[in-house]
């Protein structure tokens, strides 16, 4: 059953995210039942699911090209983070009204925030996943951060939007690949592991949020299949749908 519909974008929608959970244990303070849509029209629109209004709460129109991904800033942080094909990561601080922009200089197709909220992995169309600290050494986000790791040897990217993700223990970064593989990179290293079963580009990856199951991975592909993976010890493939 459709509960709510919103209109306003003038081009296709690239990404949708829930910025506030509304549950009693939810620590995200962006707002309860607030949804965000990122579009090819270079805007982000925020929507209040509790309101009957069809107008957005806010329109973020700072991007110069398609907005590819959006997320809240993590638990207990009043921030919204967006990435764009214009090569920039934008962090909106809702408490101060400040906009912090990081110029990656390459089109960004997706990003992932680590579970501890300290690191960001940005997947770029030049085939490199750039990993950098969200904060500098003084715990400030309004200055440029140093890229401390690059992953590029095992996944292929250049024509498709590929998602990346952190494992629940933040020890690994996962990525889809245009060759159909899921690639697992250790954060403290560069040698990746390939999980191969898809027959077309792997567009989406995610990890089980339970810290006790960092080895549990799900992937989706343009071949029309979704696969749930486990580590070697738990079995190579748990389920395929």
> What secondary structure does DSSP assign to 84-100, as a single string?
ETTSEEEEEETTTTEEE
Q: What is the pLDDT of residue 30?
A: 53
Q: What is the pLDDT of residue 233?
A: 54
Give kind and range of the element (H or E) at residue 72: strand 67-72
Q: Where are the beta strands (DSSP E) in the chain?
A: 13-18, 34-39, 44-48, 58-60, 67-72, 79-84, 88-93, 98-103, 108-113, 119-124, 129-133, 147-151, 164-166, 172-176, 181-186, 193-196, 202-207, 217-221, 226-229, 237-240
Q: What is the pLDDT of residue 134?
A: 72
Residues of the chain with pLDDT under 50: 21-27, 144, 234-239, 241
Q: What predicted TM-score, i.e. pTM, was given to this entire model?
A: 0.83
Local structure of 239: helix, strand or coil: strand
The long-range contacts involving 214-219, CB below 8 angstroms and separated by at least 24 positions, are 214/167, 214/168, 214/169, 214/171, 214/172, 215/167, 217/167, 217/174, 217/182, 217/184, 219/176, 219/182, 219/195
Q: What is the pLDDT of residue 232?
A: 53
Q: What is the pLDDT of residue 19?
A: 85
Q: What is the pLDDT of residue 120?
A: 92
**Residue closest to 78 by CA, chosen among 112, 117, 25:** 117
Q: What is the pLDDT of residue 22?
A: 43
Share of the chain above pLDDT 90, in %: 53
Give kind and range of the element (H or E) at residue 37: strand 34-39
Q: What is the pLDDT of residue 26?
A: 44
C-alpha 21/C-alpha 18 separation (Å) is 7
**β-bridge partners, 100:** 91
């Amino acid at each position: 059953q459709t509960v709510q519909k919103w209109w306003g974008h003038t081009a296709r929608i690239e990404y949708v995210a829930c910025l506030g959970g509304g549950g009693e244990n939810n620590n995200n303070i962006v707002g309860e039942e607030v949804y965000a849509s990122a579009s090819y029209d270079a805007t982000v629109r925020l929507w209040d699911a509790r309101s009957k209004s069809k107008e957005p709460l806010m329109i973020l129109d700072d991007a110069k090209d398609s907005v590819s991904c959006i997320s809240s800033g993590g638990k207990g942080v009043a921030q919204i983070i967006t990435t764009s094909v214009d090569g920039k990561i934008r962090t909106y601080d809702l408490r101060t009204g400040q906009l912090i922009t990081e110029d990656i200089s390459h089109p960004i197709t997706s990003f992932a925030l680590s579970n501890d909220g300290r690191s960001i992995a940005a997947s770029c169309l030049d085939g490199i996943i750039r990993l950098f600290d969200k904060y500098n050494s003084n715990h400030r986000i309004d200055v440029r951060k140093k890229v401390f790791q690059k992953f590029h040897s095992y996944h292929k990217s250049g024509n498709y939007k590929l998602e990346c993700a952190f494992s629940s223990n933040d020890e690994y970064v996962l990525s889809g690949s245009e060759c159909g593989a899921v690639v697992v990179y250790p954060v403290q290293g560069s040698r990746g592991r390939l999980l191969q079963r898809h027959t077309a580009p792997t567009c989406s990856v995610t990890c089980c949020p339970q810290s006790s199951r960092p080895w549990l991975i799900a992937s989706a592909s343009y071949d029309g299949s979704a696969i749930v993976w486990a580590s070697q010890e738990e079995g190579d493939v748990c389920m395929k749908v």
